Structure 1
């Protein structure tokens, strides 16, 4: 059972769901679109409804290798011998005329000639020269896929606002679409702030760390299927940050920063944002990731992520990812939540919703179980690498004992 210590949430912290709803209310989907070739369409968002100009399938065809014949020619109580008079292969249909008491050899996907109406699978036939003995089929039309049974010409196949995945690529190819109109890709400019940050591969002086956040953000943005512009590391200097803001806002739909949104003396991001644009600043009731800034820079949307590596990834996943989806024209979807048995105890103070990194699996009985990845500090980036889910702990929840049932959010495609 969960323990519920008597503790009050900090009243100035916004619950995460309330923050997500407020964020999404302030952004709109792009109305710009472009034509792209089918080869370049995967991951893009369709900007118009598409109807098929052909029936699917476009002709009656066989669902398996076998023999096509007239059902009425068979005595259903015994095997019946039919005379083989031709073949129908995919791309090479039978060109003769169907006749009584005859059959043709037919392959999967090959046209079933008008006049024949049933196919018997090869395994239920025997062959003696051109005489084919066919076991009684179950019914007329067995193993025949009829023209238009999937959809008829003029039927809407794909709707505007869906993301084109592998299945949609196949559907588009099936109906002969070589080019498709999609929403234009969003452009995201991002940079890190902090005098302590050093490039990967360089030597570290005392007090310095490598700039890992930009690489995590690059990976997240790549999974989000946007164009990104990396502006590097900006020193903790007001005018340097101001210049980076202006450069980013001129070329991007979204400006994304890492660090500089807390209350430290050298955290200038919030201050410069309020001078250069509009700011709505939330201190969120989530852990990790309490400091998060949102606003506008000219026509660009601004999202300021915390500097701690895990906090940066969690706030991107929980807050920025839904913004990107909506701006791309996708309908934001609630995350998939499952119940699992906790195999390791969790300590938690009420006051903030927590997203602890976990490993979801099945026990020997096939039941879902979840364990934490160990240390949950906001600087422990390895916890994200080890995890395949979040263990979602409610804002006012306290400690959780092993054996308790908890809510688990498996990672979606952006973190998998």
Structure 2
């Protein structure tokens, strides 16, 4: 039997810190068309290439006049001639040549033949109602800053500076290597007896693409040490980040962690939370390798724990989880061994012993629903069930609840910091 007694177990925060410290994610920039840049992260400041407006421009639907006609007060306009003494001027349009001031159309009565005007309010100063050359934008003005995510509004602002391509952070390439003798691809004509459908690739792909990355799928790798090494090495050669699925526990066919230890630097063999206690982290050939456990519920939320910070770091975004303060509305459900017949609780050999070790912290991941109350505060209600179970799929937050007899548990009414999903 292989010896697992020296497995390194650290906290979620220590895993992320170790991975980030071991990676050289220097900025990688590429140019893309502005109309294809939505959701991308700007790699450099974007500056205006033009002057706006490039001529004296009217700010409102108005008539254009000469300020000199108003220096001594309201003039008699009965003899004014259109095109000589006044002219129509519209919002955003260049002022008619020779005119320097605008009066908003609501203060003007225009004759039916549109040749004569009466004015009931004089302009306040020369150039009133107009925009000066360069008042909105000058060449070199910053339109958007590096690190901003391009939204439609930001793209429109950039286009307004006559810019049609932008420098963005290259999307991180994330390779996914599923392992396991028991797996077959989804859509197989026949699912052999004892086999399972490989579905985590869909979870990983969906999250990678939603988080701004490029998904690189690998074929299912059998539980063979040499084949696992070959797949990981190949993945590290073509990807910025590798996700290795399953084989990180203590079964006789679980080789992933041992092979990572052989070909790379292990950051941890396991983490101090459950589910997904058997999550690992390593660096192989300079590429971070996130080892996620096989069960879908553990695989899904641990991607947010360990893959998302790496992708965000690559993109130059914040790596800390987003947390909010919310008031606990109900006690957390008590978890424990499975119930026997008749609801009696029992301990049995088929149940994994508690991971809580005296003197060491361990956390159970609990799911919650967070909602805004009428007074604007947030309320958090625990959801029964393990992460990923049907009952928790609609939960929108999680909380790391300390386990063990001496652990402090928040009480109803306490304000706790929960992580939004």
TM interval, short-chain normalised: 0.7 to 0.9
Change in CA separation of 1:12 and 1:234 when aligned onto 2, cut-off 3 Å = closer
Cα offset, 1:222, TM superposition: 0.7
Equivalent runs, 1:206-285 vs 2, <5 Å: 207-285=194-272
Name 1:356's counterpart in structure 2: 366
Equivalent runs, 1:365-384 vs 2, <5 Å: 365-372=375-382, 374-380=383-389, 383-384=392-393
Considering only aligned residues, what root-mean-square deviation do their CA atoms show, in Å? 3.7
Equivalent runs, 1:109-258 vs 2, <5 Å: 109-113=92-96, 115-120=99-104, 122=105, 125-129=108-112, 130=114, 131-133=116-118, 136=121, 140=125, 144-202=130-188, 204=191, 207-258=194-245
C-alpha distance in structure 2 between counterparts of 1:344 and 1:405, whole Å: 12
The structure that has the greater radius of gyration is 2
C-alpha distance in structure 1 between counterparts of 2:262 and 2:398, whole Å: 36
What count of residue pairs does the alignment treat as equivalent?
Answer: 384
Name 1:389's counterpart in structure 2: 397
Further displaced range: 335-344 or 388-397: 388-397
Say if 2:402 and 2:409, in contact at 8 Å, map to a contact too: no
Could you list the per-position Cα deviations for residues 4-42 of structure 1 after superposition, in whole angstroms to 9, with x for gaps in the alignment?
A: xxxxxxx96423223322221111224543332223333
C-alpha distance in structure 2 between counterparts of 1:109 and 1:316, whole Å: 50
Say if 1:80 and 1:134, in contact at 8 Å, map to a contact too: no
C-alpha distance in structure 1 between counterparts of 2:191 and 2:239, whole Å: 32
Say if 2:56 and 2:130, in contact at 8 Å, map to a contact too: yes
Q: Unaligned stretches of 5+ in structure 1?
A: 1-10, 87-95, 412-416
Cα offset, 1:258, TM superposition: 1.8
Name 2:420's counterpart in structure 1: 410
C-alpha distance in structure 2 between counterparts of 1:82 and 1:360, whole Å: 69
Say if 2:279 and 2:292, in contact at 8 Å, map to a contact too: yes
Change in CA separation of 1:336 and 1:280 when aligned onto 2, cut-off 3 Å = closer
1 or 2 for the larger relative contact order (CA 8 Å, sep ≥6)? 1
Q: Does 1:323 align with 2:310?
A: yes
Q: Unaligned stretches of 5+ in structure 2?
A: 1-6, 336-355
Name 1:22's counterpart in structure 2: 18
TM-score, L = length of structure 2 = 0.76
Name 2:349's counterpart in structure 1: none
C-alpha distance in structure 2 between counterparts of 1:359 and 1:126, whole Å: 61
Change in CA separation of 1:119 and 1:299 when aligned onto 2, cut-off 3 Å = farther
